[in-house]
Amino acid sequence: QKEVEQNSGPLSVPEGAIASLNCTYSDRGSQSFFWYRQYSGKSPELIMSIYSNGDKEDGRFTAQLNKASQYVSLLIRDSQPSDSATYLCAVNTGNQFYFGTGTSLTVIP
Amino acid sequence: GAVVSQHPSWVICKSGTSVKIECRSLDFQATTMFWYRQFPKQSLMLMATSNEGSKATYEQGVEKDKFLINHASLTLSTLTVTSAHPEDSSFYICSARKEEWVTDTQYFGPGTRLTVL
């Protein structure tokens, strides 16, 4: 079983819609959770981190964490074509970082 | 946030030569840095974990004699691809771990695109 699992997609949403990206993790001792965005041909860029159960909002982005279900998600409101990228979920477990394989998102104008 | 730089951003070399890639944390000290490789349309693949002042830890299947890693200071790690061959052509990305109040966070450099002719 992989430490971090993501649906590889591709996920397509129309411009202005909400994009929902999901991630599950296997280790209940995991302490912190991250979302990175990677544009094609570029390196990953940190967009959100979350440590406590519940929601954390930053602009159009909302990260949601449910430790009981071992589930973390990223919502992108009012999706824009510039949001088209691969989104990587990462988990810090005992100071080890584990990355998912990423979900490809396409926002259709 | 935090800034991590890589140099060079791209390099083209002949088969059999060695190439050195530098990774620097510009505004924080990083005890630990990571080196990744990514082929087109594939996921990040962790190659090794670089710890300041000690030997790097390589992932299974990564040749330590081919990919030499040196983490000589708290702000600099280097990756040397020795005797490079066309199959080593890839996008090499480093990241640095920043110790923050609540948790440690990884910040990525912009990557180095290596083409071996």
pLDDT tens for each residue of B49-79: 999 888 999 999 999 999 999 998 999 999 9
Q: Measure B97 CA to nearest chain A CA, in Å.
A: 10
Q: Which residue, among B3, B2, B1, B4, has the nearest Cα to B93 in the 3D structure? A: B4
Average pLDDT score over residue span A23-36: 94
pLDDT tens digits, B4-28: 999 999 999 999 999 999 999 999 9
| Cα–Cα distance for residue pair B42/B40, rounded to 1 Å | 5
Is there a cis peptide before residue A14, judged by omega within 30 degrees of 0?
no
Nearest chain A CA: its distance from B18 CA (Å): 23
- Nearest residue, CB atoms, B103 vs list A41, A51, A99: A51
CB crowding A81-92: b at 16 or more within 10 Å, else e = eebbbbbbbbbb
Residue contacts between A and B (CB atoms, under 8 Å) = 43
- pLDDT score at A7: 86
Token pair of A65 as six digits: 């964490």
Q: Measuring CA to CA, how many Å separate A97 from each of A46, A91, B63, B84, B93?
A: 14, 6, 22, 29, 15
Distance from C-alpha of A31 to C-alpha of A67, rounded to nearest angstrom: 9
Residue B103: the pLDDT is 83
Q: How much is the pLDDT for A8?
A: 79
Please give the residue of chain B at the shortest CA–CA distance from A95. B104
Confidence of residue A9 (pLDDT cuts 50, 70, 90): confident
